[in-house]
Structure 1
């Protein structure tokens, strides 16, 4: 792994040093950055799968309680990502320009700014947690568990924010391995904690020997605590690594001011605010989708949540490649290598489309097995399989929008993509879902989603080709 990291650093140094890169070197660097990022994303999905399976074994109501608030947790999650990205892209530009001291200065300021932001967000989440299930139209039988889950999630938002910040800055510096390993560790720790927190003490019999397996029996609350605790531990590890071990960014032994400067905050706002709005737009649409799905019943809510989790197995590789695109484009722009910027943009987008297209085929073929891992309830399984097989057809174009967005983020061009997402989701997806759901039920909601993702991918490809995102430089 150390040798591989040195090879990656050598190729990244070619960007900063203005050396010409062959197509083979560009492809190799793209793969070397993408693979660890994809592993990190997949480990996150594995964690979600295991959480869903463990909670699913408790019954449909437990699954529905988490599914009801899942879109709102993604909204808060997305705001934390936006805050972190506002600073990590600046770090990528500084490193691309060879200004390591400036990159460390941005890092110090980001720690203070994002911590304050996440604390405010945590307070907001805990305040609204009691009323949220009512606002979303969930059945009264799942109100308590849904509220408890969201309250615990909100309490640990500062840890989640530090996780995103440290991981994002390490990736933008070109270090994909540390965040990837941390993601795998978080998955393992989450499984262990959930195993003991969700289920009550019970008697096991192995090879004829009976023994008591201890458990807290906290149910849905245990799932939230296990995941949050795992995130907090990994956030601490990543911050320690960033502070003491990163060859480009370590702060140990260096004096510097942690007070955010106006110029740094202004750039962070210019990058992060459109991203935050974009997450609000997407998650707001997902919340509206939940409102559309909620009247269809508990089975539909649970199946919709499981299908979204299962589909993420396909699109998270796209997000991993998008992370690589942000790093490559960001450092190329920092080095003012415009032709190389264009080349990396195209390579990453078409790589993402190929990978997610293949994942779409696999998702269609193995949809029954994928959903079957998460729930034993036959009604939920049938609805979930139907949803996944509809969505499989949209995966290549979904990849185009995901990775192209990563390209635009690396170029600090986030406002126009935000507007594109707003139009696509609210004008296409929600209007179609509202039109089709009364007659087709959950099937109509997922048909609307498939059509919208294909449309969104098309308009992102058009913007990528026109290259107006590079005119801001």
Structure 2
């Protein structure tokens, strides 16, 4: 892994128009990817830990979290979409060596983000008692499920600050601090979950409280690093009056809008998928939720490499170096596919062992392992879609990538899952997922190599 000083020097070469050897490019990609991969994996480990601890309380406790998983994903994705709308602008300004405007965008991001997260929190509080029933859950799991969702909703402002500060640091090329703090948050989650679930005997609610407290403790140093310690983004580097600029908001809306719409429709698709799974029974609900958690550990390296791609492609695009931008895009997508192909092999071999960590119920273990082995074959193409999507978004090209995601999800996964679920149960749902992810990956590879994402309209910053 590159030291911060070396990676900063190589990123400065990008901004200053200096040539880069192929070895330097690869070193920079790997140096930025490794911390981000660790950060992505440890963030998913929080959900893995929650699921494992709750899983040993029984199938009903597991199903109470599984039934609302798609909705919590939606709320987190909406906050992530907002962060992306501002962090892409920051990466472009940093690539253009305009650090002052990068900090101005950061200020706008914090204000808008806090307002939006408080609104989301209010919505979550308002619907928490009804949500499990809307999603097809029964009265046996509704109480625990609504309690978990209420606590998660109260955590949303802290989740936003975490996402926002992390994405801004990554846009500046600092992957190390978000990685360290993600690992810290994971460790804290283990400690707090154990205390609340087993010492205070709070069960499912204890898992949510542990995660909330882990976010609260970790987000404070994350915000401090981004706003006070960063050499590029520290807000105290500016000594002029802060002026509101609606162009930054419009630009963020232009970038975030399609991503947020995607999050909404994709989550709607996940809700429908949950409704397809729910009639199959609590065993299938729990197995589906646990298998998703295990699979997420395998595809998080793709998101980590996608973070590196966003930084490198965003800064080279902002610097006007399109040849280098294209080169970084191809290298990161290739690396992502190779890594996730390896992770797919690991997932196929150790699927039973992974599932046994999450649940002591043999039926859940067996069904989840079968689903994971179906999905393992789609992992390289899933990587292509993840990293290529990050490449496109980092240039401001969001509409067509979002369209690809939505069309494959709604046109292939859901229709195929609905048809296959009645005959093959949960395995049919996962087979549909594998078909859809493979198709999505192929479409993103076609878009990547055609290069039209490089022609994304310039973002106006007047």
Q: What range describes the TM-score normalised by the shorter chain of this pair?
A: over 0.9
Q: TM (normalized to structure 2)?
A: 0.97
| 1:430–1:448 Cα contact (<8 Å) kept | yes
State the secondary structure of the residue aligned to 1:252. helix
- Aligned-pair distance for 1:256? 5.1
* Cα distance in 2 between the residues matched to 1:20 and 1:439: 58
1:390 and 2:389 correspond = no
Match of 1:420 among 381, 399, 404: 404
* Cα distance in 1 between the residues matched to 2:237 and 2:43: 33
Partner of 1:56: 55
Partner of 2:117: 118
* Cα distance in 1 between the residues matched to 2:348 and 2:243: 51
| 1:296–1:441 Cα contact (<8 Å) kept | yes
Partner of 1:283: 267
| 1:105–1:257 Cα contact (<8 Å) kept | no
Q: CA deviation digits over 1:51-100, x for unaligned, max 9?
A: 11100111111100000000000000000000011111111000000001
- Aligned-pair distance for 1:281? 2.1
* Cα distance in 2 between the residues matched to 1:260 and 1:440: 56
Match of 2:342 among 338, 354, 358: 358
- Aligned-pair distance for 1:260? 4.5
Partner of 1:43: 42
Partner of 1:207: none
1:94 and 2:60 correspond = no
* Cα distance in 1 between the residues matched to 2:252 and 2:240: 19
State the secondary structure of the residue aligned to 1:160. helix
1:399 and 2:383 correspond = yes
| 2:290–2:355 Cα contact (<8 Å) kept | yes
* Cα distance in 1 between the residues matched to 2:306 and 2:235: 27
* Cα distance in 2 between the residues matched to 1:330 and 1:234: 27
| 1:133–1:147 Cα contact (<8 Å) kept | yes
State the secondary structure of the residue aligned to 2:358. coil
* Cα distance in 1 between the residues matched to 2:236 and 2:99: 14
1:437 and 2:436 correspond = no
- Aligned-pair distance for 1:258? 5.7
| 1:149–1:221 Cα contact (<8 Å) kept | yes
* Cα distance in 2 between the residues matched to 1:470 and 1:169: 22
| 2:46–2:189 Cα contact (<8 Å) kept | yes
| 1:109–1:257 Cα contact (<8 Å) kept | no
* Cα distance in 2 between the residues matched to 1:394 and 1:401: 11
* Cα distance in 1 between the residues matched to 2:318 and 2:9: 17
1:264 and 2:263 correspond = no
Where has structure 1 moved over 4 Å in runs of 4 or more? 256-260
| 2:100–2:238 Cα contact (<8 Å) kept | no
* Cα distance in 1 between the residues matched to 2:285 and 2:239: 52
* Cα distance in 2 between the residues matched to 1:7 and 1:340: 19
* Cα distance in 2 between the residues matched to 1:216 and 1:169: 37
Name which of structure 1's ranges 43-52 and 319-328 shifts more when overlaid on structure 2: 43-52
- Aligned-pair distance for 1:257? 5.4
RMSD: 1.1
1:152 and 2:139 correspond = no
Alignment of 1:105-254 (within 5 A): 105-199=104-198, 215-252=199-236, 254=238
State the secondary structure of the residue aligned to 1:41. helix
Q: TM (normalized to structure 1)?
A: 0.95
CA gap 1:257/1:86 in 2 versus in 1, 3 angstroms: farther
In the alignment of these two chains, the number of paired residues is: 457
1:67 and 2:66 correspond = yes
* Cα distance in 2 between the residues matched to 1:140 and 1:295: 14
Consecutive unaligned residues of structure 2, counting only runs of 5 or more, are: none
Consecutive unaligned residues of structure 1, counting only runs of 5 or more, are: 200-214
